[in-house]
Amino acid sequence: MQLSKKLQNNKQKLEKYLASIGFASRRNVNEFLKTKKVTLNSKKVKIDTYVENDDILNIDGEDLVVELNPETEVLIYHKPTGQVCSNMPTDKNDSVFQGLPARKKGKWIMVGRLDVNTSGLLIFSNDGNLVNFLAHPSSNIDREYLCRVYGDVSDKKIENLLKGVKINNELAQFSDVVAVKKTSKSKNHWFYVCLFSGKNREVRKLWKTQKLDVNRLIRLRFGPILLPDNLKPGGWKKFSKKEVLKLKNILEIN
């Protein structure tokens, strides 16, 4: 029995492994395999294929060394404006992945996204379960941003954003809005805002409902993870083993 369990731990179904490294969910892995060119040790794969440690998995020309049950790693990155949260750069913009340290096995999986004009905290991990937990709405993790808003800001508009407004027929709201300066003669106003969701351009869209434009946006915090003051745009920091364990304890996950 012990030998059987050991063999199981040394093998894993391809669909489970692809989900664990962030390529596809187990629900859509069939579609993923139809649309991508995937080989294992230079052989075409099937849905019931098993992978083992140190196998070479090739996805659309990119080789990945299989690593089952890896030790969890976490990396934070200070995204500059102008970079895209995509695996591939565009003609005009670099990819955030170009600034990350290379991995010998597995891959970095990104937690959520920031639009091209937003800077600040991005989180990466090699642990798909941790990434899914951080990103999933049911985890109820708040995000904090520093934003510069252009226009006439009133107490009523702030109240509306805290009570909630409709965006695409869905209720959206800030959980907190704090002015950096209480009074200002300028048309630009700085605010700290928090919200418990990470939908596409949601901070900008929320202010837009009050006829206000965000012309600077920086993510400072994602749940218990903070953007360090000394981490410059384009810089990254890898968590120590102690920091990873502390994060998991805070989040109450294994």
User: Which one is catalytic: 115, 152, 176, 213?
Assistant: 115
- The pLDDT of residue 29: 78
Task: Give me the domains of the chain, ranges plus CATH numbers.
Answer: 2-65 (3.10.290.10), 74-138+225-251 (3.30.70.580), 142-222 (3.30.2350.10)
26 confidence band (pLDDT: 50, 70, 90):
low
CB 51 within 8 Å of CB 68: yes
Q: Which residue has the higher pLDDT, 4 or 188?
A: 188
pTM of the predicted model as reported, rounded to 2 decimal places: 0.86
Strands (E), the chain: 11-13, 38-40, 43-44, 50-52, 56-59, 62-65, 74-79, 109-111, 119-125, 143-150, 165-167, 170-172, 176-179, 188-195, 213-222, 225-226, 236-238
Read off the pLDDT of residues 66-97 as tens digits, 9 standing for 90 and up. Answer: 988 889 999 999 999 999 999 889 999 999 99
Q: How many residues does the chain have?
A: 254
Of the segments 20-24, 47-51, 162-166, which one has the largest average pLDDT value? 162-166
Look over the chain and give the mean of its residue pLDDT values, rounded to a whole number: 90
Query: Does the annotation mark 91 as catalytic?
Result: no
- The pLDDT of residue 6: 45
